[in-house]
Structures are given as C-alpha cells and as structure tokens.
Amino acid sequence: MKVGLFIPCYVDQFYPQVAIATLEVLEKFGAQVHFPASQTCCGQPMANSGCEHDSINVYKHFVQCFREFDYIVTPSGSCAHHIIKHYNIVEQTEVVKHIRANTFELVSFLRTILKVEKMDISFPHQVGLHLSCHGQRGLRSSNASEITPDRDGEMLRLLKTITDIRLTQLDRNDECCGFGGTFCVAEEAVSARMGIDRIRDHIKNGTEVLTGGDMSCLMQLDGIIKRQQLPIKVMHIAEILNGQKP
Amino acid sequence: MSHSEKAKQFNGDFNHTTWHDESLWFVREKRDKAVYGVPEFQQLRTLASQIKDHTLSNLDNYLIEFEHNANGNGIQVHWAIDADEHNRIILDIIRLSNSKNIVKSKSMLTEECHLNPFLQKHGVEVVDTDLGERIIQFRDEPPSHIVLPAIHLKKEDVGETFHKHLGTPKGENDPQRLTEAARQHLRQKFVTADVAITGANFAIAETGSIVVCTNEGNADLGVNFAKVHIASMGIEKVIPKWYHLSIFTRLLARSATGQPITTYTSHFTKPRKGAAMHIVIVDNGRANQLGREDFRSSLKCIRCGACMNTCPVYRRSGGHTYNFTVPGPIGSILAPNIDLKKYSSLPFASTLCGSCSDVCPVKIDIHTQLYKWRQIMGKENALPPLKKISMVMTAKILASTKVYNRLGKLARFILRVSPHWLTHATFLNPWAKARELPVPPKESFKTWYEINRASK
Amino acid sequence: MNSRARLLSQIEKNKPALVELPNVPSFQNNAATIEVFETALLKIGGNMIEMNDLTSLVTIIQNKFPGILKIASSLPIATINVNEWTNQQTLEAIELVILEARLGVAENGAVWLSDTDMLHRALPFITQHLVVVLNRKDIVATMHHAYEKIQLPDYGVFIAGPSKTADIEQSLVIGAHGARTMTVLLI
C-alpha cells in the first residue's frame, strides 16, 4: 500500500510539527508513506472565494503530484473534503477519479483503512475536541447535532481509547469556529466573534488541551487564545495520537 | 452596504450580539429536542424533499390543477408575473369591494412585494396582525427573521413602541402585559375588517385548498370576519395531494420553533357563505430560478427559518445585515437570483459549515448552493476587484512548486523579522484585530523532510 | 400573452425532467394512546379532563369556569345561540365555546374541527376559552392517520392548545389573539 502524504500549504509553512506528527503516526501504524516534494495546495482558498475556475491549474498540479498513490492522506478534513467534493470541475480521468475516491483525512484513514481501533498511549489531560465542519458534516466523519443527539464520530472514538484522557462535554458540540478561509478577514467581525464563543465554551467546560483534525480551525482558535492569554494549549490530533505531550 | 460592513456594526455591541446569538440558539435547541423525539424525522425530510422535487418537475400542471379545483370551490385565482402585478391585483380587489379596513396576517411574499407601502401610497392602510409584524410595522422596520420578525428587538424596545402607539404605561416591558395590549388593540381590527390578506404555507393541487399555519390565530380571526379573503402564494407553494400535508405539517413547526405543530393549521377550501376568496399566484423571479439547475432546489423551501436559527453567522449578525426579505442562508441563495450584483456579498456571509443543509426539513443543499453562487460571482465579475486579483495571483503561485517554495520561505522570513506591531497592524491585517498570528517556523515541513528523510 | 400563459410557459420551459413521486409509508410504529395525547397537549399549554359521558358536562364546566355565563356550543349547554349569520358584536362577547371534535392527534395534541362542527368559522378563535369534546376512540397516532381520516371540509382547522406567541424576546405568552385556554374533555 503506497500512501501519498499531502500536507496543506499553511501546515507546511506554519505548522511543520503537525506534518511531522502525521508522518510519524502513519508510519507507526505500518503505512509506507511518501511525500511528493512538488506538492503545493489543493486549491481550496481560491475556490471558496469564488475563483475555482482560476484554480484549475492548481487542481491539475495536485493531481500530477499524487497520481501514483493508492491513498492520499492529509491532516485536514477540509482539504480532503475539497479534493473529494470539488475536483468535479476538471476532466474526470481515471487518475482524477482514483484520487477523489482515495483521499482521506488522517483519522478517517487510520480507522477505515488501517483499522486502528485503539491507541496505546496515555494523555492525562482534559481534551476538548473541535469538530471541523468539513470533516464532520462534509465527509460525515462525525455525527451532527442537527440530526442526532448521539455525540459520536471517528475522532471521538479514537480519543476515547487513550489512557487517562478526559474529554470535554461542550454546550454546543459542533458549532463552527468561524475560520471559513477568506471569511476570516472578509467577515472579520463575525469570524472573530464565532471563535471567541467557541473558546468560551471550552473554558467554561474545562478544556486544557484543545484539539481537532484541521489546523486552520485550530489556528483561528489559537489566535484568540493567545490574544486573550487563556490557559488552553492547542494541539493537532496527529500530535496527540503521536504520543506527544502538551 | 455589504453584509460584512453591516455585521461589523452589529458586532460593535458585544453583549447585544451575545443576546441575539443565545435567543436564536435557544430556538435551535428547542428544534433539536422536537426533532430527536420523532424517530422517523430523517425519513420525513427525505419524503418531503422528494415530494417537492417531484412537484417542481411538474409545476405547471400542478398549478393548472390547483387553479381548476380552486375555481370549482368558488375561489377566484389570479396570476402575477412580478411584485407590481401582485400589488395591483390586490389593490383592485380592495377597491372593487369598497373596503376600508384591511388586516393582514404574516406573509413573506407580501413583504417581498412591498405590498404595504404600495397600498399606503394608494390610500389604503393595512394592519399587520401577527404580533411581531405589528411591532415592526409600528416601528417602520423590515422583519429580521421570517418566523420571528421582531427577534432583533428587546422587550424594552417593544415597551417603548407600545407606549407610543398603544398608550401602554411608560416603562411597561412585561411581555405578557404587552401582548395583552396588542390583543385588545387587534381584536377591534379583526371584528371590523372588510378584507383579510393572508399568505399560504401550502396549496393543494388535488383539492384546490390552501393551508395557513399560525400560532396566534390571527389569520383565522381576520379571514373569518372579513367579507373578502385574499391569499398570496408563490408558485412553489403547491403540493400534489391532500395526504402530503401530513408530511409537511409534521416537519414545519418542529423545524421552526420546536413545537410539534403550529397552534392553528387552517385549511381553506371554500369561502364561507356571503364572502369571497381570491388567490394570487405569484412568480416574481421563481420560474427563472426553476431554470437554474444548480439552484432550483431552493424553491423547495417551506419557510421554517431553521437555517437562520442554526446559522452561526446569522446569529451573530442579525437579519437586517442581509438587506433582503428572506435573510440568512436560504435568503443568501435566493437573493442573487433577483439581483446578482446587489446581493453579491451574501453567498460569502457564510463559513460553509453546512449546518443549514442539515437542519433543512426539505433537504435543500444550502451550503453547496452558497459555494456555487460564489463561483458565479467569480465568473461574472461580481467580486471585489482586489479579492479577484489576489485570488488569481495566489492560484498562479500555487500552481508552481518553485514559486510556492520560494514565496513561502520569503513570507515566513518577512513575518519572522517584522515587528509584532507591523504584522498585527489592523489596517493591514484584519485578522489581527482579535487574533494572534501563528509564529512562523524557520523551516517548512518540506525543508525538514528534505533534510531528515528524503536524503536518507 | 397574459401573465398566466406567460408564467406557465416559462415554467414548462424551465422545469427539470419529471422526478417520480415517492410512496408515503403509513408509519405504524407510533402509539395512539391517551397518555401520548395528554402529554403532548399539556406541553403545548392545553389541558385534558377525562369523563365517562356527557351527563357530567354541566358540572365540570361550572367547576372549571365559575361565573362564566356567555357560552356558545353545539351541545345543549349554550346560553347564546350562534349560527353562520351571527353578528360580530355577539361573537366578540362570547366567553366560552364548547365544540365536538372529530379527531385528536396523539403526537402533537391537536384536535380537528371542520366548519360543520363550529357553528361560525370565527367561533373557536374569538372566544376567550375553548373546550373541545373528544371521544377517546377518535385519537389517532400521527398526522398521517389524521389526514387519512379527514373528509375534505370547506374549512377546517387543527387546533393545538391555546393561542400563543413568543414574538417578544422569545417569551412564551399564552393568549395572543385567540382562546386563552384550551381544554379537551375526553369521553
């Protein structure tokens, strides 16, 4: 099984430690991981801004970089969602179809393909899980409160198997963080307010470590935590699964 | 003014934003409770969606069937291409019946057509009888929500308005007593009404009936005293069969307010003896939307307002920031059909979180359509020029490994060596108003990989 | 071309290929019990009194509505006669209306009244208090069962509890424009 590691552009540039953790976790569970050095971005930032047609070359570049893998794995539900759902505007060659059908967010890949049931690690902290919308509702990797009261999902199940972990029960389990790509600057006021409200929920309910599957949401939330100097440490879920300490 | 500019003003008052968000979240929570209590709720959503899809695919014939049956029931059916024609038809009916006293229950279509100002211009006064609508009518404001028109107001605002218009004691802010004052005031209007205008929640092709849902009873009180009943309905309100009402009445109130059903679900098939009934079927851009493959399913909307209550952006910006009759997510996919340029900021007033699509009782893929409208904005030059240019530039950078690598390194370097006051200057970087930027690392993952893995 | 023809032809041109109409199942797994009905009715602000038959009607009404004199009803308890031609002033003064409903819906506490059951179409709304007599045999489980049973009326209404509003700051107020109380007498 040949796994192509896709590291989203902003993770590559700003959060290399998250990419390293992703790589190491995949290797720990026996995946043969390759990182094509020519990769850049999935094209989502432009597409969400209404310019998907200007991004076709970015899509094509991505397809070129990842054409030879059985699976493409990325530490981002949002980027995986974009490739799976929105690469419908380029010609649907066999390669494109294969890529769209075999791209996975990290935890989803660990559970569905590598069949990881349990984590043999300890994490004695109270963890608040931020469910990123594109993974949760877009890829249906977690239940949505609009549909069922059962708070369940791939990330939660895996986190629950970690020794000594305590999980935060949020008042609003799956409200958006307010990042939203260029929304975070175009609608600065609402975006910031959404982030502030998410953090308040975590503070109120005792989160010590805030985690999630998307560094973009976590960047938004961390930006508020740092500005307000709040006692919450932010870690991508790959870092926790990789056995790292806060 | 764009949505974001108005939203910035709204967010200027932190506590008011908290209050607005929590008021609507409270409704969302009531909705959840009601929905969780019906095991087949998801199945009902699917059925409702399929019935609406079917209806839209045969809409002309269902409208003809509806008209035929309504005529047979003694109802006069009128057709209006646009708001102006709708308004003129209603004015004519009022004039022909020689009526003075007009009451109107809640109808988003008459709001959309700006019926009240039109009639007023022609010397006809209309009294809105839904409590929320009456409040905003006194205040000369548009509704900020399609189910809760005065949700933007605090009880103190209503108290002041009623003091001015209904003579309630100054400082009287108790909702119970304010509602009682409105009750006394409006009962006089009901019993003396000549014409009652209503909307229609559903129109049944099979029987020629319309159904109107209210909690206050104001639609029935108006219609059942007046000698003329006029109902305005959009072309998309028709459903094929009487029995289909069972699906929609189970979904509507649960989605809207968390009630198992509205207090009054009223079925009008024939006018009462001695009274007349008119139905105005209105297009106003809907048939055009029907022709847009990607957006036609927006016509399935049953106007429950659930997407507003759940939308984290709506809750933190209020209905008036959308500047369209139907605010919130559903309004943001309806408005560009009417005027692409004017409403170009609305599809961007969303994080595409998808909660709207998951609460929608008729399964409209609202957030997908927001994404698709964005692409149309991008193609038709409806984006702010700077945004378009920067996106095209970014796309160029990201299509080339070399340029990306080089510029990434450069950007991190600049961010690292620049002082905090500069990188966080809010006139350059709106992000920094409320948030810190991440600290840029010396090396990217790519560089790390090259050093630590690729060469080994 | 008139507006009707213009509109219909535009719809015909723009509508998608025919999509099939789904079959609606009968949803048999819901209970049609008195308990479910009463729970739903109480939640929406109504109340319920069980009685064996109508012989105790007068006593129950006198106990529940002491001092109320202006009663309109399809049952022989009326103090004011109402028919479809009754004038507004008379209707406006009515304090209590007692009508017989054809069916009740367990899932939401609603009762069905058609115009033939309500003497005057405005009566259930203009009254201060509404009492509806319902036979326990006529409780159905859901709206599906209800619509299967209903004969198409000239005018008919599901009434679920008293008139209410939450238009001022989401505060629930009972007694908006219509009846301030709504009682189901179950026989």
CA–CA separation, B346 and B47 (whole Å): 29
Q: pLDDT tier at C64 (50, 70, 90 boundaries)?
A: very high
Flag whether pLDDT at C59 surpasses 70.
yes
Cα dihedral sign, C147-C150-C156-C158: negative
Q: Tell me if A61 and B378 make a contact (CB, 8 A cut-off).
A: no
pLDDT at B427: 86
The B residues from 361 to 390 touching A (CB cutoff 8 Å) are 371, 374-379, 383, 387-388
Cβ-nearest to C24 among B149, B235, B247: B247
Query: CA B273 → CA B100, B112, B148, B225, B270, distances in Å?
Result: 21, 32, 34, 12, 9
- The answer to whether B355 contacts chain A (CB < 8 Å) is yes
In chain A, residues with a C-beta closer than 8 Å to the C-beta of B369 are none
Predicted pLDDT of residue B456: 60
CA distance, residue A36 to nearest chain B CA (Å):
9
Please list every residue in chain B whose beta carbon sits closer than 8 Å to the beta carbon of residue A46. 391, 394-395, 398
- Is the CB of residue C58 less than 8 Å away from at least one CB of chain B? no
Q: What is the pTM of this model?
A: 0.96
Chain A residue at shortest CA distance from B431 = A185
Give the rounded distance of the alpha carbon of B193 from its chain centre: 29
Helix or strand run (H / E) with residue A26:
helix A16-28
User: What's the mean pLDDT when you consider all of chain C?
Assistant: 95
- CA atoms of C23 and B444, how far apart (whole Å): 57
| Interface residue B453 vs chain A (CB under 8 A) | yes
Nearest-5° Cα angle at B277, B271 to B281? 135
B411 to A187: CB separation less than 8 angstroms, yes or no: no
- The per-residue pLDDT of chain A, averaged, comes to 97
Residues of B in contact with C125 (CB under 8 A): 217, 220-221, 224, 264
Q: Determine the distance in angstroms separating the CA of A85 from the nearest CA of chain B, rounded to an integer.
A: 10
- A21 at interface of B, judged by CB pairs closer than 8 A: no
Residue type, A58: V
Neighbours of C69 (CB within 10 A): 9
- The whole-number pLDDT of residue B61 equals 98
Q: Which residue of C has its CA nearest to B62?
A: C8
B399 closest CB neighbour out of A61, A147, A226: A61
pLDDT surpassing 90 at residue B92? yes
Pairing state between β A166-167 and A126-130: parallel
| Contact yes or no for B415/B437 (Cβ under 8 A) | yes
Query: Contact B81/C144, CB-based, under 8 Å?
Result: no
Going C79 to C84 to C89 to C92, the CA torsion angle's sign is positive
> What integer is the mean pLDDT of C91-102?
96
For residue A149, what is the nearest residue in chain B, using CA coordinates?
Answer: B36
**Tens digit of each residue's pLDDT (9 = 90 or more) over B246-298:** 999 999 999 999 999 999 999 999 999 999 999 999 999 999 999 999 999 99
Residue-by-residue pLDDT tens, chain A, 246 positions: 899 999 999 999 999 999 999 999 999 999 999 999 999 999 999 999 999 999 999 999 999 999 999 999 999 999 999 999 999 999 999 999 999 999 999 999 999 999 999 999 999 999 999 999 999 999 999 999 999 999 999 999 999 999 999 999 999 999 999 999 999 999 999 999 999 999 999 999 999 999 999 999 999 999 999 999 999 999 999 999 999 999
Q: Is the pLDDT of residue C67 over 70?
A: yes
Q: Is the pLDDT of residue B232 over 90?
A: yes
B11 touches chain A (CB under 8 A): yes
Tokens 């009707």 sit at which residue? Answer: C4
Q: From CA B18, how far away is CA B21, in angstroms rounded? A: 5
From the CB of residue A122, how many other CB atoms can be counted at a distance below 10 Å? 11
How many angstroms from the chain centroid is the CA of residue B265? 21
pLDDT (tens digit per residue) in B400-448: 999 999 999 999 999 999 999 999 998 889 999 999 999 999 999 999 9
Residue B67 has pLDDT above 70, yes or no: yes
pLDDT for residue B454 is more than 80: no
Put simply, the chain A residues between 91 and 120 with a CB less than 8 A from any chain B CB are none
* Contact residues, chain A, for B376 at CB < 8 Å: 50
Mutate to test the interface with B, among C2, C11, C97, C145 (most CBs of B within 10 A): C11
Contacts of A217 in chain B (CB under 8 A): none
pLDDT on residue B426: 87
Whole-number pLDDT of residue A43: 95
Q: How far is CA B26 from CA A199, B96, B213, C163, in A?
A: 19, 46, 22, 21
Give me the pLDDT at residue C26, please. 82
Nearest CA in chain B to C17: B57
Chain B residues within an 8 Å CB radius of A4? none
Test C155 with B53 for CB contact under 8 angstroms.
Answer: no
B152 touches chain A (CB under 8 A): no
Per residue, the 3-state secondary structure of chain C, as one string, reads CCHHHHHHHHHHHHCCCCCCCCCCCCCCCCCCCHHHHHHHHHHCCCEEEECCCHHHHHHHHHHHCCCCCCEEECCCCCCCCCCCCCCHHHHHCCCEEEEECCEEECCCCEEEEEHHHCCCCCHHHHCCEEEEEECHHHEECCHHHHHHHCCCCCEEEEECCCCEECCCCCCCEECCCCCCEEEEEEC
Let me know if chains A and B touch, i.e. at least 3 Cβ pairs under 8 angstroms.
Answer: yes
Judge: B378–A16 Cβ closer than 8 Å, yes or no.
no
ipTM > 0.95, yes or no: yes
Write the pLDDT tens digit of every residue in B15-61. 999 999 999 999 999 999 999 999 999 999 999 999 999 999 999 99
Query: Which of C29, C116, C165 to mutate: most B Cβ within 10 Å?
Result: C165
Our measurement of the distance from residue B63's CA atom to the centroid of its chain's CA atoms, rounded to an integer in Å, reads 24
C90 touches chain B (CB under 8 A): no
Is the CB of A133 less than 8 angstroms away from the CB of B354? Answer: yes
> Which residues are bridge partners to C132 per DSSP?
C99, C184
* Cβ-based neighbour number of residue B290 at 10 Å: 27
pLDDT of the residue at A130: 98
Please tell me the distance in Å from B374's CA to the nearest CA on chain C. Answer: 22
> Is a pLDDT exceeding 90 seen at residue C101?
yes
Task: Give whole-number Cα distances, C90 to A53, C82, C84, in Å.
Answer: 69, 8, 12
With 90 as the cut, is the pLDDT of residue B455 above it?
no
Collect all residues of chain B within an 8 Å Cβ-Cβ radius of residue C175: 179-180, 183
A 188-227 residues with CB < 8 A to B: 188-197, 219-220, 222-224, 226-227
Tell me the pairing of strands B202-204 and B209-214: antiparallel
Task: Please list every residue in chain B whose beta carbon sits closer than 8 Å to the beta carbon of residue A200.
Answer: none
Q: Work out the minimum CA distance from C61 to partner chain B, whole angstroms.
A: 23
Give B46's contacts in chain C (Cβ within 8 Å). 22
Contact between C8 and B64 using a beta-carbon 8 Å cutoff: yes
